[in-house]
Amino acid sequence: MTLPFNPYQEIASIAARHAGAEGEFRTAIESLGISRRHTPSAPCHGSYRPCIAIVIQGAKSLRLGTDVINYGAGDYLLTSLDLPVIWRVVEASAEVPHFCLTLGINSEKVLELLSRADIPRPIAQGPGRGIAVNVATPEFLDAAVRLLRLLDRPKDIAAMAPLIEQEILYRVLTGPDGGRLINIAVADSHGNRIARAIAWLRQHFASSLRIEDLAEQVNMSVSSFHHHFKSITAMTPVQYQKQLRLHEARRLMLVERLDAGTAGHRVGYQSPSQFSREYSRIYGLSPARDMEAAREPVERT
Ordered by start, the domain boundaries in the chain are: 7-184, 187-301
CA distance linking residue 186 with residue 190, whole number of Å: 9
Q: Which of 223, 169, 217, 175 is nearest to 197 (CA)?
A: 217
pLDDT of residue 107: 87
203: Cα separation from own chain's centroid: 17
Question: Which contacts of 259-265 are long-range, i.e. CB under 8 A and separated by 24 or more positions?
Answer: 260/287, 260/288, 260/291, 263/287
CA distance linking residue 280 with residue 289, whole number of Å: 10
pLDDT of residue 294: 83
pLDDT of residue 126: 58
State the alpha helices, DSSP H only, in the chain: 7-18, 107-116, 138-149, 157-173, 178-185, 190-203, 211-217, 222-233, 237-255, 260-266, 272-283, 287-300
pLDDT of residue 125: 55
Terminal CA-to-CA distance of the chain, rounded, Å?
A: 51
Q: Which of 91, 84, 77, 81 is nearest to 37 (CA)?
A: 91
Indicate the residue type of 208.
Answer: S
Q: Which of 261, 281, 259, 280 is nearest to 269 (CA)?
A: 261
CA distance linking residue 31 with residue 13, whole number of Å: 20
CA distance linking residue 198 with residue 229, whole number of Å: 9
Which helix (H) or strand (E) is 51 found in, with range? strand 51-57
Contact 200, 214 (CB under 8 A): yes
User: How many CB atoms are closer than 10 A to CB 286?
Assistant: 14
pLDDT of residue 185: 86
β partners of residue 191: none
Q: Which residues contact 134 (CB under 8 A, 6 or more apart)?
A: 75, 76, 78, 175, 176, 177
β partners of residue 76: 54, 134
CA distance linking residue 288 with residue 247, whole number of Å: 15
Range 187-301 has CATH code 1.10.260.40 = no
CA distance linking residue 240 with residue 205, whole number of Å: 9
pLDDT of residue 186: 84
pLDDT of residue 18: 92
- Which of helix, strand or coil describes residue 47? strand
Range 7-184 has CATH code 3.20.20.120 = no
pTM to 2 decimals?
Answer: 0.87
pLDDT of residue 187: 77
Instruction: Give the pLDDT of the chain (301 residues) as one tens digit per residue.
Output: 545 457 899 999 999 999 988 899 999 999 999 999 999 998 888 889 999 999 999 999 999 988 999 999 999 999 999 999 999 999 999 999 999 999 999 988 999 999 998 887 766 555 688 999 999 999 999 999 999 999 999 999 999 999 999 999 999 999 999 988 888 888 778 889 999 999 999 999 999 999 999 999 999 999 999 999 999 999 999 999 999 999 999 999 999 999 999 999 999 999 999 999 999 999 999 999 999 988 765 443 3
Task: Tell me the three-class secondary structure of 156-178, residue by residue.
Answer: HHHHHHHHHHHHHHHHHHCCCCH
